Amino acid sequence: MSVTVIEGSQWGDEGKGKITDYLASQSDIVVRFQGGNNAGHTICFNGKRFALRSLPSGIFNSNITNVIADGVVLNPFSLKEEIEGIKSSGITDFKLLISNRCHLIMPYHLDLDGAYENLLSDKKIGTTKKGIGPCYVDKAARRGIRAGDLLEKDFLKEKLKDTLKVKNLELRSLGLKEYDLEDLYNKLIEIGDYLKKYIADSQYFLINALEENKNILFEGAQGMMLDIDRGTYPYVTSSSPSSNYVSQGAGIPPQAINRVVAICKAYTTRVGEGPFPTELHNEIGDLIREKGHEYGTVTKRPRRVGYLDLVVVKRNLKMSGASEIALMLFDVLENIDHLKICINYELDGKIIDYVPASLNEYSRCKPIYKEFKKFSFSDKIHSFNELPIEAKEYISFIEEFTGVKVKILSIGSDRNATLVR
């Protein structure tokens, strides 16, 4: 039995989709355990490209059960669009299970996400405006609507009535349109009828699956620097994308996890606002952005680009118990002179080796770099051994510094451009 977690070790967009796709094919069950449709990865199937947002990556394989677990926030209307999208491409034979405990992103969450960002103006978080934060707010405030509520019509109406009292007050105070109970209720009933065949107790399902020794893959969205507790708060998402949260978000014991694959880009990117010590504002940054196609999957925003920051990666690998690294987009770094990796920060004249909790301190951190030699290699190589010595040095340094082995190396977008050790 293998219970594997895939997690992003930086600020998201590390290329998790490619590895998830690869590992999903060896799994019986693929599970999303946090976040929502702020995630986005593209999967190529039968020559077509599909942008998945909330659907787990095993959806194209009829033998895999795909689970949207308790810790996810789910926009039921956009999920319907996603499902219809894959159905219209002829994929009708899929297995999907939506937790009856997962919270629903409601239309007013989208309005509030946008309004709060506007209020913050130049201090905005730079959210994806998918309503993620406002939905988790209502979950914590104990007035959220859960997927299971869609199946209990009278209860849903009562709950929605109470919730709307608060939400309409909030919307009114922000000068936004209020929601009509009957109208929203009818829309929820309609979407509930559409989704009801997928809604079940996913926690119960997963516990049984563990007992049956199934191979389970937990796919994290975003990255650990966007973690609500340990990221660059408040410039974070509202969930925890690491292996640390799998147990809570899916309802399985932590010791069931036996493999944690940390996905790490060979350089660093981030979208949205917030400190980023190794950010490059020069032609090397522009070159990496263009070569790496560093534009948001969900928002299309150009990503901020910088050198690899191993202070960040090491902290996140240690925190989450990563057992191996998948190093992504390595080919993007080919032919770059004076390539650098950040190994420490300088904070007010002191050398530090950790990520400060204070955003002010983190903004003052200056990267201390180790320089590496330029490298290039053919896209036809099939093993680590065929890499030039300069490329091997870059990889070995990551391993020595973090204490975690690079087991997978991606040297191109093609599925085959993946070296496995």
Name the residues annotated as catalytic: 13, 41
Q: With respect to ligand IMP, which residue has the nearer C-beta, 37 or 202?
A: 37
- Residue 135 beta carbon to ligand IMP: minimum distance, rounded to whole angstroms: 10
| Distance, CA of 262 to CA of 333 (rounded, Å) | 20
* Residue 162 burial (10 A CB sphere; 0-12, 13-18, 19+): exposed
Q: With respect to ligand IMP, which residue has the nearer C-beta, 296 or 388?
A: 296
- Residue 277 beta carbon to ligand IMP: minimum distance, rounded to whole angstroms: 16
The DSSP bridge partners found for residue 73 are 103
Q: With respect to ligand IMP, which residue has the nearer C-beta, 20 or 237?
A: 237
- Residue 240 beta carbon to ligand IMP: minimum distance, rounded to whole angstroms: 12
Q: With respect to ligand IMP, which residue has the nearer C-beta, 5 or 156?
A: 5
Dihedral angle of Cα 289, 291, 296, 300, to the nearest 10 degrees: 90
Question: Residues 108, 167: contact at Cβ < 8 Å?
Answer: yes
Count of all residues that appear for the chain in the document: 421
The beta-strand segments (E) located in 69-138 are: 73-74, 95-99, 103-104
Give 396-411 as a 3 state SS string.
HHHHHHHCCCEEEEEC
Name which of 52, 30, 400 is nearest 206 in CA terms. Answer: 30
- Residue 27 beta carbon to ligand IMP: minimum distance, rounded to whole angstroms: 21
Question: Residues 365, 277: contact at Cβ < 8 Å?
Answer: yes
For β-strands 259-265 and 350-352, DSSP reports them as unpaired
- Residue 385 beta carbon to ligand IMP: minimum distance, rounded to whole angstroms: 33
Query: From residue 150, how far is each of 56, 62, 100, 206, 353 by CA, in Å?
Result: 21, 26, 9, 22, 49
Q: Which residue is nearest to ligand IMP (CB)?
A: 272
> How distant is the alpha carbon of residue 21 from its chain centre?
14
- Residue 55 beta carbon to ligand IMP: minimum distance, rounded to whole angstroms: 14
Q: With respect to ligand IMP, which residue has the nearer C-beta, 128 or 203?
A: 128
Question: Residue numbers of the site for ligand IMP (CB under 6 A)?
Answer: 12-13, 38-40, 125-128, 130, 132-133, 221-222, 226, 235, 237-238, 271-272
| Distance, CA of 126 to CA of 241 (rounded, Å) | 18
Q: With respect to ligand IMP, which residue has the nearer C-beta, 222 or 242?
A: 222
> How distant is the alpha carbon of residue 24 from its chain centre?
16
